[in-house]
Amino acid sequence: MSEKLLHRGSVKDIYEISEQELLFRFSNRYSIFDWGEMPDAIPNKGRSLAKLGNKLLAHLSQEGFPTHFLRAGEQSEDMIVKAVAVPRDNVSIYQSRPNNILIPLEVIYRFGVPKGSSLLKRYTTETEWLQAGFDRQYCEGETFNEVKLDFTTKLERLDRVLADGEA
């Protein structure tokens, strides 16, 4: 299989296999707050992301939900997906609700409030925490009773936080 590197990101590398298929190779790299790639890596992160993504997207496809997923790749860090358009320079195209196009959405799983968390800047009062759906105000270093989801945009210069309904 001939692979042409299209994009190297903080989470995965994207290769073109054919005009219709892409290979996602999940890495052990990570980034924080749009700063870019951090200098260290998380062992087995790529393998874990690929395994989770392959299982979840295969299940959604089997249940009738349309996805870009085609199959797991040959390596444990790989996923094969349908190629879609990525309109980096023209995000206004989304107003027409096109098909076969990247959904510019990032889903962030939050387990707590680590040092430097953007939540501490976003919510400065107990009222703001409660309005955002938390059970109370949290401090640095605390963990949540359940995983919280955050949604942000992609393809913009800086990722913008989205309300649940907007996501």
The Cα 13–Cα 26 span in angstroms is: 6
pLDDT of residue 33: 61
pLDDT of residue 1: 60
pLDDT of residue 135: 95
pLDDT of residue 98: 84
pLDDT of residue 50: 96
Interstrand relation of 143-153 and 4-8 (parallel, antiparallel or unpaired): unpaired
Nearest to 52 by CA among 74, 26, 70: 26
Superfamily (CATH H level) for 4-83: Phosphorylase Kinase; domain 1 (3.30.200.20)
pLDDT of residue 20: 95
Nearest to 69 by CA among 52, 89, 86: 52
| Predicted model pTM | 0.75
Ranges of CATH 3.30.200.20 domains, the chain: 4-83
> Which positions of the chain have pLDDT values less than 70?
1, 33-35
